[in-house]
Structure 1
Amino acid sequence: MAEKKWMPRWFYQLASPRWCYQITGKLLPWFALVAGLSLIGGTLWALMFAPADYQQGNSFRIIYLHVPAAILAQSAYMLMAVAGAIALIWKMKVADMVLKSAAPIGASMAVLALATGAIWGKPTWGSWWVWDARLTSMLILFFLYLGVMALNSAIENESTAAQASAVLSLVGVVNIPIIKYSVEWWNTLHQPATFKLTEKPAMPAEMWVPLLVMVVGFYCLFAVSLMMRLRNEIVWRERRTGWVRELLSKQ
């Protein structure tokens, strides 16, 4: 009982698949609206109004896809690690579902970050790919995503698959600080972080503000995708319960 005094109520409500399904249904339209407005507005701003870079010209504009995708790829894996820890410690099956649902989305963000990085690297470095510390660690992150997805597909027992995925997510999270600080720890071609909470952005406001808008849009898009996949996963796993049968009978 003492544990419940310091844990918020919503934390225990998340253990209920039915409550989680209902609350995500209410949040989905709002996140979708913000995602649509942010991505459309940020894209138009980045392409039509942001000035060209004084060194890279217009080729720098790929930053408005590359940076949000790279940030989100790392954030999604951190979410998986947190969900994995919750699943292992508190045995919450909703946390298992979150981990499983987030993996394909995070993998797609990692692919987008790698692809846009290669496209950006060609005119900047003269090569599509270099074994740069940040690029290599991002590639490892993509393989970690594939590993989690493979475990969920290969292991038939849902409980065993969830535990194995949680362990891999927790072990692989050590790669996140390597990605973040690789440009500081090693001599790399990759430029330093675009955003730092402790420092003023190196770019002028008319260039970094649309980038910030795109980051917000990507996060909201991730939330929408995650909630949609999570709701499908909840319905599938709880398909034998009365509330899901009642829900499906109404559709």
Structure 2
Amino acid sequence: MNPIVRWFHQLGSPPYFDRFAARWAPWAYGLGLLVMAWGLYGALFQVPADYQQKDSFRILYIHVPSAWMSMAVFALMAVYAGIALVWRIKLCEVLAMACAPIGAGFTVITLATGSIWGKPMWGTWWDWDPRLTSELILLFLYLGVIGLYQAIDDRRAAARAAGLLAIVGVALLPVIRYSVEWWNSLHQGQTIRLLGKSSLDASMMMPLVLMLIGTKLWFVGALLTRARADNLRRERGKAWVAELAGAGEETR
């Protein structure tokens, strides 16, 4: 068997995943916080003020990474849910449901920073703008996935039902992405492009890139931590969990 394929098969084992998550989650957390701190320092103290928005533009270094993550996490959640529904892989159910609270957190940050940014730019904290409204609907979808998962006692049935909602909800992501192009919108158009020329000045890009990398590393740490906790709850009756708990007691 191919070593990579064998590793993925091993990762699907609850005991193996527990060891993997326990080992790598702290590293992902630590590196993520370090990179984000570096990015925030550059955003606050090294990047010049914008010629139109002055210093208020600096909130984009939190707003933009959070907005990208709010959509990326939902897409990843749907992918995990799809794999779980088709191949009945229990770990993918766990990972899909672990995505939901983290993605909801990123969405809340997106909406909050967007409102703070919008006040001086638009003169209002909130407007039923297509981008803002569709992002709010994304938050409701996250909350729906979380609520549905918690409402059903059978963990596997709950994950399947909530995962189906996540898969259906993916249809909202292109609406969020292209809302400023499809409808008249107060929200500014795309200024940052992964492919092609960005309208954001090059001197302002590096802190943003660091924040994008940092939020992704932090997300990996948070995902592994939450998934590990849910995995342990599901497997609490198994011998390997009892051994792990016993080993933890001995080290105290």
TM-score, length of structure 2 as denominator length: 0.94
1:13 Cα offset (Å): 2.5
CA distance in 1, matches of 2:24, 2:48: 36
- In the TM superposition, 1:43-58 aligns within 5 A as 43-58=40-55
2:59 aligned partner: 62
Check if 1:112 corresponds to 2:140.
no
- Which secondary structure does the structure 2 equivalent of 1:218 belong to? helix
Per-residue deviation, 1:11: 3.2
Amino acid at match of 1:231: R
Count of residues paired in the alignment: 247
Number of the residue aligned with 1:13: 10
**Residue 78 (structure 2) pairs with residue 81 (structure 1):** yes
Identity of aligned residues (%): 46
CA contact (8 A) 2:29 2:217 kept: yes
Runs of 4+ in 1 over 6 A off after TM superposition: none
1:78 is displaced (CA, Å) by: 0.6
SS in 1 for 2:188: coil
Within 5 Å, which residues of 2 pair with 1:43-192? 43-192=40-189
The amino acid of 1:135's aligned partner reads: L
Which residue of structure 1 aligns with residue 215 of structure 2? 218
Q: Summarize the alignment of residues 23-38 of structure 1 with structure 2, pairs less than 5 Å apart.
A: 23-38=20-35
Match of 1:250 among 227, 240, 247: 247
Q: Which amino acid aligns with 1:173?
A: V
Unaligned stretches of 5+ residues in structure 1: none
Query: What aligned pairs does 1:223-234 form with structure 2 within 5 A after superposition?
Result: 223-234=220-231
Contact 2:27–2:221, Cα closer than 8 Å, also in 1: no
Q: What letter matches 1:220 in structure 2?
A: L
Q: Which runs of 5+ in 2 are unaligned?
A: none
Q: d(CA) in 2 for partners of 1:11 and 1:137?
A: 35
Counterpart amino acid of 2:67? A
Amino acid of the residue matched to residue 242 of structure 1? A
- Aligned: 1:201 with 2:198: yes
Matching residue's letter, 1:101: A
The alignment partner of 1:23 has SS state of helix
**SS of the counterpart of 1:239?**
coil
Aligned partner letter, 1:147: G
1:222 maps to a residue whose letter is F
Shift of 1:73: 0.7
Provide the rounded CA distance (Å) in 1 between the counterparts of 2:72 and 2:120.
28
Contact 1:38–1:217 (Cα < 8 Å) also in 2: yes
Separation of aligned partners in 1, 2:205 and 2:128: 28
User: 1:193, 1:34 → 2: CA distance?
Assistant: 29
- 8 A Cα contact 1:201 1:208, kept in partner: no
Relative to the length of structure 1, the TM-score reads: 0.94
Deviation per residue, 1:76-126 (Å, 9 max, x gap): 101110010011011011111111111111101100000000000000011
Task: Give 1:152 deviation, angstroms.
Answer: 1.0
Task: Give the Cα separation in 1 of the matches to 2:119 and 2:110.
Answer: 14
CA RMSD in angstroms comes to: 1.4
Counterpart contact for 1:137–1:179, Cα < 8 Å? yes
